[in-house]
Amino acid sequence: MANEMGLFTSGVAIPAHILKKELSETTKALIGTSDARRIAIRGNIFRLYVGGQEVAKNDERAMNVIVAASAPKTSRQYFGGVYQEGSTSAPDCWSSDGDHPSPTIESPKHSNCAQCPMNISGSGQGTSKGCRYMHRLAVLLENDISGDIYELALPATSIFGKGENGKMPLFQYVRQVASYGVDITSVVTELRFDTDSTTPKMVFRAIRALTEDEMETVLEKGASVEATQAITTNFGSNRKDATPAPAVNKKPALAAPVAVEEDGDEPVVREKKPVAKVADPADLESTLAEWAD
């Protein structure tokens, strides 16, 4: 093969043994996230973005994905003024752990998120809070499990609270699946818009169990550089330096949400309850079938 790109100063051909069909994780990490992929739920429509550009949209009310990895904690972000839906501008302040502002923020609103004036009802539009919760997931599309990782950032309305009829917000749904001794990374999850909500809101339910081959693929994808980047709260401006990416476990799982529930629009910390008794695995298949109905 000719050295058409001029890779080596000698001008010799690139050796076949170093050519890669897929680049290594080291190379991908150094290249950066210019081709980062994410799923947005703007305007009650699933929208796919690559490198910040919308490349496709899905008018269906539901989409099937697999959760490959999760941010270890629920983050927060604050936009001064009126936030414009779909804006790509960096927030004025944000927190990766939901407790303290990122050390990269030049002018944090407060040193403690719980005591911040932007965490008070009425500090945002109407009676809402100026600072909003957000939880990041790295997901795969069911029809392309071996394909690209997508970032999915969910607002508070899709994270906290309680749902009915098998359609639940994220944390309640994860607890339901975990009560059967099943990892959220080993099932196909349906994302569905709550059509009764005036703002974009997702509800979740399990569709089916993954095959053994699919589970191996998801485990590998969940430990990839792309998954780490997808679940990392990191904005390209209004920062002093780059936010370090969190560690990704070989068997990624959602941060335990048992201590957080939502009372109206206000997430509150509750006393942790004992871990729910794991249901009989023999009942799992029938339960998944019921959820899919």
Of the candidates 102, 112, 110, 116, the residue with the CA atom closest to the CA atom of residue 233: 102
User: What is the residue extent of each domain of the chain?
Assistant: 34-85+92-292
In this prediction, residue 111 carries a pLDDT of 93
Would you say the C-alpha torsion 261, 47, 137, 287 has a positive or negative sign?
positive
SS3 221: helix
In this prediction, residue 113 carries a pLDDT of 95
Tens-level pLDDT at each residue, the chain (293 residues) = 443 445 666 666 767 777 665 666 566 555 554 568 999 988 888 999 888 888 888 888 899 999 999 999 999 999 886 656 556 678 899 999 999 999 888 889 999 999 999 999 888 888 888 999 999 999 999 999 999 999 999 999 999 999 877 789 999 999 999 999 999 999 999 999 998 888 888 999 999 999 999 999 999 999 999 999 999 977 654 333 333 333 334 444 454 443 344 444 445 544 444 444 445 545 555 555 554 45
Alpha carbon distances (Å) from 11 to 2, 5, 15, 18, 36: 9, 9, 12, 16, 33
Of the candidates 251, 165, 167, the residue with the CA atom closest to the CA atom of residue 215: 251
Report residue 212: phi and psi, to 5°. -60, -40
Of the candidates 113, 95, 107, the residue with the CA atom closest to the CA atom of residue 240: 107
In this prediction, residue 255 carries a pLDDT of 43
- Global pTM? 0.70
SS3 158: helix
The rounded Cα 109 to chain-centroid distance in angstroms is 25
In this prediction, residue 8 carries a pLDDT of 65
Question: Is beta strand 93-95 parallel, antiparallel or unpaired with respect to 75-78?
Answer: antiparallel
Q: Quick: pLDDT tens for 51-60.
A: 888 888 888 8
How many Å apart are CA 239 and CA 102, to the nearest integer? Answer: 9
How many Å apart are CA 159 and CA 173, to the nearest integer? Answer: 9
Q: Quick: pLDDT tens for 62-91.
A: 999 999 999 999 999 998 866 565 566 788
How many Å apart are CA 149 and CA 137, to the nearest integer? Answer: 10
| Exposure class string for 145-167: b at 16+ Cβ within 10 A, else e | beeebbbbbbbbbbbbbeeeebb
The rounded Cα 159 to chain-centroid distance in angstroms is 11
